Structure 1
Amino acid sequence: MVNGEKERVSLLFMKALVSRGSVDAVSQQMASHPQYLESFLRTQHYILYMDGPLPLPYRHYIAIMAAARHHCNYLVYLHSAQFLRVGGDPLWLQGLEAAPARLRLLDHINKVLAHQPWLTACSHIQALLKAGEQCWSLAELVQAVVILAHCHSLCSFVFGCDTDSDFAPLAKSPNDTPPTFCPFDAANGNTNVPQSLASLDSGCDMVCLKERIQKSREEQERKDERFLQTQTLQQTDMEEEEETICFADPSRFVTDPDFCYQEFARRDEDHFQVLRVQDYSWEDHGFSLVNRLYSDIGHLLDVRFRSVATLPSVHSPDLKRAIWNYIHCVLGIRYDDYDYGEVNRLLARDLKLYIKAVACYPDATKTPVCPLSWTLLKASERIHVNLLIMEARLQAELLYALRAITQYMIA
């Protein structure tokens, strides 16, 4: 990184340390692309913490539900800890059945968006908006859908960059007792934090960061103290041992675990219609709808999509376009003005297999096999491909969900 980029990343990390008490591993990996990282963090902070119709505990619980569909330990642990930090009820972390009925109603649309987004229908929206006393408002539902899509796509990045493997073994220590730390408090002075989290990107001056956050130390200590007071959940069954909330088992938040990705191309085309971008696109339809129902989020998401497409890279624009369109293709979205022969010409078979695995079933192999063609690429270029996969998937899920909402509104 050049000095200007180092300074930019340092400032972003400082904000993360002050606001959350840690610089998470995902941010560290994205740091090689500071322009994108800034747009990502701004969007994530907005949907999880800024003004919106949903209370903060609901937002993190929805994130837990989304991450659990892909058995993403990393994100489930992260949002479990944040759920408690913002005052969430520890009992909800016993499992989905312990959550309020309104949250449980999101389970079906969460499942569909995560694995077969083309199934998202007007009826799903209607069921949520007309559920009697447990009904959702349109504004609440839009924010929930954005959080679900954001976290589903982030799971793809986590598995694509092999971040989740650092956390799966930590659920229990060798003697079957709860761990003594939460892996997301890398800045709380805990010397047992895994090295993968304790060290920042080599381009970031840790000494400088420590100096800058010194003034926020007292505030952070108060946050840590409040967190430690709520960190452990006493199970209702007193015979069970206490568990550290950070390490809630993702399977607790999953119903119908056999529901998974299916090959869209092999489906009955009379029943599953291709979503043609000429009929419903982000630019002409999705952006304006989501921005109207959830103020400013459309602009923030649009910056993310544009940022990842314009990042400096050794990858040609044609290659990046092929990656984006291929992901949309396997998720049932087609561009009438695109020659799909370009996908086979520009993407080697092993790269296509990798992209499809990370985009559609990221947790199936836990650690997707990297293409041989990547061996000569820098880490930042491999991360760039994973960013493209994440953003293309995010936009695809949003298109299906927003199209269903549009159909409901005009019905």
Structure 2
Amino acid sequence: MLIFMKEMDYPLRNQCQRVQNQVTKVNAEKERVSLRCMKALANRGGVDAVSQQMASHPQYLESFLRTQHYILHMDGPLPLQYRHYIAIMAAAQHHCGYLVSLHSAQFLRVGGDPLWLQGLEAVPPRLQHLDQLNKVLAHQPWLTARSHIQALLKTGEQCWSLAELVQAVVLLAHCHSLSSFVFGSGTDTVPVPLHIAPNGTPPGYCLCDAANGNVSAPPPLTTPSEHTTRRWSLDSSCEMVCLKERIQKSQEEKERKGECVLHTQTLQHTDVEDEEEMIYSADPSRFITDPEFGYQEFARREEDHFQVFRVQDYSWEDHGFSLVNRLYSDIGHLLDDRFRSVTALPSSHGPDLKRAIWNYIHCMLGIRYDDYDYGEVNQLLEREMKLYIKSVACYPDATKTPLCPLPWAPLKPSERIHVNLLIMEARLQAELLYALRAITQYMIA
């Protein structure tokens, strides 16, 4: 009887092995599809510097673009104009001219009022009311309190709905952290691409096609009404190509056609075709009401009003994910995939270093893990590395003239990008934790 059962095990083992081999093939095929997606988009144009930097990690880039595309262009409670203007407000807090110009152009493409680009005094009061939360999340997120949420959700014509506020919070945190990546990777010195397809990606291209392998040819163009409601992302993915050559080519073509740089103070309504040929230069200071407000050392503050945020009491996995996913459908899954993708990226320095970078950033922002030995931070991170991480995570606009360049000279370019991705995602999660905890406190009060 035992011999018979052992003989029966052989087909079962063979079947399990075949299933495992099939799973391996599927995963390998997904990676090949992702790489083909990068190549296809690079060949079609629409290169933006941020995506080009991230393209050395295609699996992460796909996850990043899915999230960005969803919050900026897919179904949601906020109108498209509001989304891009909130992105402008967030990027301006760090004087990130690259993102401010990028979203200023996109703001006009979706029908935004050019007068709004003159500054916050020209926008509806409800957007002005968001400025305080934007400022706090960007520089001192531990100050985020239930009172900020209550002030925005109070009754009246200019109040926010809870769903609108959650999308706004995700947008703010996304653009604050992306500003860190832009400065950390040196992208802020790169001009916004002159000649891009409408909204940056190939006409009619959907990021969802990447997972299905549909990258050989773009689908038909959308109708004007569809194009209005579902714009494609301005950030397109691409394979690592020579950015300098593309910029030089664009500049030569610009000079040949005699095009001018369009400044925000002279912005006017133009045809869509003309807008695609222009580069928008926006002054971030127009969107800042308190330029003196900035990052302060959490660990050195004298007041005891703001206690350490303990992850054991409120974590992304147990609290933040479910709340944001309930109030803003599917965004929790997309954000969670980003966090998992960046921590899963291969690194020659091992998982302990990645965790040290992540926890060090959270520690500087007042978030602590009771089960982590913070002595490892000093053991694994050199002083120069800690200075670099702190400057990029806490006051990235200071890195416009880098005083503390990324150490570890032997690092490959992809590993340097990996460090900046970790900084961006750790900061994103920290801001979300503070904002979502405040929303939770408002809801249960």
TM-score range, shorter chain: 0.7 to 0.9
Superposition pairs of residues 210-359 of structure 1, within 5 angstroms = 212=217, 235=266, 246-268=280-302, 270-359=304-393
Superposition pairs of residues 173-212 of structure 1, within 5 angstroms = 183-187=192-196, 212=217
Conserved 8 A contact 1:362-1:368: no
TM-superposed deviation, 1:364: 1.6
Q: Matched residues in 2 for 1:86 and 1:9: separation?
A: 30
Alignment counterpart, residue 60 of structure 2, candidates 36, 59, 62: 36
The 3 A distance-change label for structure 1 pair 93 and 35 is same
Amino acid aligned to 1:380: S
Alignment counterpart, residue 37 of structure 2, candidates 11, 18, 21: 11
**Structure 1 residues 289-319: Cα deviation after superposition (integer angstroms, max 9, x where no partner):** 0000000000000000000000112121000
Q: Matched residues in 2 for 1:102 and 1:322: separation?
A: 39
**Structure 1 residues 153-177: Cα deviation after superposition (integer angstroms, max 9, x where no partner):** 000000000110224xxxxxxxxxx
Q: Matched residues in 1 for 2:85 and 2:60: separation?
A: 26
Conserved 8 A contact 2:153-2:159: yes
Alignment counterpart, residue 121 of structure 1, candidates 145, 157, 160: 145
Identity over aligned residues, as a percent? 76
1:150 correspondence with 2:174 = yes
The 3 A distance-change label for structure 1 pair 10 and 78 is farther
The 3 A distance-change label for structure 1 pair 6 and 379 is farther
The match for 1:22 is 46
Amino acid aligned to 1:72: C
The 3 A distance-change label for structure 1 pair 16 and 398 is farther
Gaps of 5+ in 2: 1-27, 199-214, 229-233, 235-258, 268-277
Alignment counterpart, residue 432 of structure 2, candidates 387, 398, 405: 398
Q: Matched residues in 1 for 2:310 and 2:32: separation?
A: 41
**Structure 1 residues 312-347: Cα deviation after superposition (integer angstroms, max 9, x where no partner):** 121210000000000000000000000000000000
Q: Matched residues in 2 for 1:391 and 1:89: separation?
A: 32
Amino acid aligned to 1:31: A
Amino acid aligned to 1:184: P
Conserved 8 A contact 2:63-2:334: yes
Amino acid aligned to 2:366: G
Q: Matched residues in 2 for 1:211 and 1:75: separation?
A: 30
The match for 2:95 is 71
Q: Matched residues in 1 for 2:103 and 2:187: separation?
A: 15
**Structure 1 residues 167-189: Cα deviation after superposition (integer angstroms, max 9, x where no partner):** 4xxxxxxxxxxxxxxx3344469
Conserved 8 A contact 1:80-1:245: no
Q: Matched residues in 1 for 2:347 and 2:356: separation?
A: 15
Amino acid aligned to 2:96: C
SS of equivalent residue, structure 1 residue 126 = helix
Q: Matched residues in 1 for 2:406 and 2:176: separation?
A: 26
1:86 correspondence with 2:95 = no
Conserved 8 A contact 1:70-1:362: yes
Gaps of 5+ in 1: 168-182, 190-209, 237-243
The alignment yields a C-alpha RMSD, in angstroms, of: 3.1
The 3 A distance-change label for structure 1 pair 217 and 86 is closer
**Structure 1 residues 103-138: Cα deviation after superposition (integer angstroms, max 9, x where no partner):** 111000000000000000000000000052100000
1:133 correspondence with 2:157 = yes
Larger Rg computed on CA atoms: 2
Q: Matched residues in 1 for 2:336 and 2:145: separation?
A: 24
SS of equivalent residue, structure 1 residue 272 = coil
1:387 correspondence with 2:413 = no
The 3 A distance-change label for structure 1 pair 108 and 261 is same
Amino acid aligned to 2:285: S
TM-superposed deviation, 1:215: 7.2
1:59 correspondence with 2:59 = no
The 3 A distance-change label for structure 1 pair 372 and 245 is closer
TM-superposed deviation, 1:356: 0.5
The 3 A distance-change label for structure 1 pair 393 and 233 is closer
Q: Matched residues in 2 for 1:127 and 1:217: separation?
A: 40
* TM-score normalised by the chain length of structure 1: 0.81
Q: Matched residues in 1 for 2:166 and 2:30: separation?
A: 37
